[in-house]
């Protein structure tokens, strides 16, 4: 089990690996899987734009959608991943502890992620986002299956 912390990403080509991140509330996880090469990547994004905290973005670029996601995509390209054989899935972006939508961090994270994916000519084939639940997400590198958990419930996207 490879654990992705907040603001981190992991890319793996080891078929025995499972990449997992915990307790996505307003944070967003992006999973990218190359079906031909069996290479998987996952990032746990906390905030949409690095301009919120430039110093933190230098220390931990994965914390922000606009700095971390492009870096993970580049890392996957270096391993031979190509647009035509990758599948993208997105999870998280909930509205937790913000019932009046004052900050809308979850929605802002989702919009930032989709904008970056669009600029890379990538679109999500599966998504489980929004709502008010926290999600834990796992990506199996052997086959790209994405499994979500919340409370006692488990499902795939």
Q: What are the residues whose beta carbons fall under 8 Å from the beta carbon of 110, sequence distance 6 or more?
A: 28, 90, 92, 93, 129, 130
User: At how many degrees (to 10) do helices 105-119 and 65-78 cross?
Assistant: 40
Q: Residues of 73-101 as b/e, b for ≥16 C-beta within 10 angstroms?
A: bebbeeeebeeeebbbbbbbbbbbebeee
pLDDT for 96 equals: 73
Q: Is the pLDDT of residue 99 over 80?
A: no
Q: pLDDT higher for 100 or 79?
A: 79
Helix (H) or strand (E) holding 138: strand 135-140
CATH code for position 10: 3.30.1330.200
Q: How confident is the model at residue 51 (pLDDT cuts 50, 70, 90)?
A: very high
DSSP state of 62: G
CA–CA separation, 107 vs 26, rounded Å?
A: 8
pLDDT for 84 equals: 96
Q: Give the percent of the chain with pLDDT over 70.
A: 96
pLDDT for 95 equals: 87
Please state the rounded mean pLDDT for residues 21-46.
98
Distance of CA 67 to the CA centre of its chain: 13
pTM: 0.95
Q: How confident is the model at residue 112 (pLDDT cuts 50, 70, 90)?
A: very high
Number of domains comprising the chain: 1
Q: Is the pLDDT of residue 73 over 70?
A: yes
In sequence order, the β-bridge partners of residue 14 are none
Tell me the residue range of the domain where 103 lies: 2-156
CA–CA separation, 142 vs 137, rounded Å?
A: 16
Q: How confident is the model at residue 104 (pLDDT cuts 50, 70, 90)?
A: confident
Burial of 134 (0-12, 13-18, 19+ CB in 10 A): middle
Helix (H) or strand (E) holding 75: helix 65-78
Active site residues: 27
Cα 7 to Cα 84, 99, 103, distances in angstroms: 27, 24, 19
pLDDT for 60 equals: 98
pLDDT, mean over the chain? 95
């Amino acid at each position: 089990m490879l654990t992705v912390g907040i603001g981190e990403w992991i890319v793996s080509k080891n078929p025995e690996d499972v990449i997992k991140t915990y307790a996505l509330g307003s944070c967003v996880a992006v999973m990218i899987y190359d079906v031909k090469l069996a290479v998987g990547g996952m990032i746990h994004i906390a905030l949409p734009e690095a301009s919120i905290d430039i110093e933190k973005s230098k220390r931990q670029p994965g914390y922000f959608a606009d700095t971390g996601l492009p870096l993970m995509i580049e890392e996957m390209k270096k391993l031979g991943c190509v647009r035509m054989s990758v599948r993208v899935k997105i999870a998280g972006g909930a509205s937790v502890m913000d019932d009046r939508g004052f900050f809308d961090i979850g929605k802002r994270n989702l919009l930032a992620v989709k904008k970056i994916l669009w600029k890379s000519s990538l679109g999500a084939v599966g998504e489980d986002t929004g709502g008010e639940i926290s999600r834990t997400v796992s990506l199996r590198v052997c086959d790209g299956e994405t499994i979500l958990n919340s409370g006692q419930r488990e499902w795939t996207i």
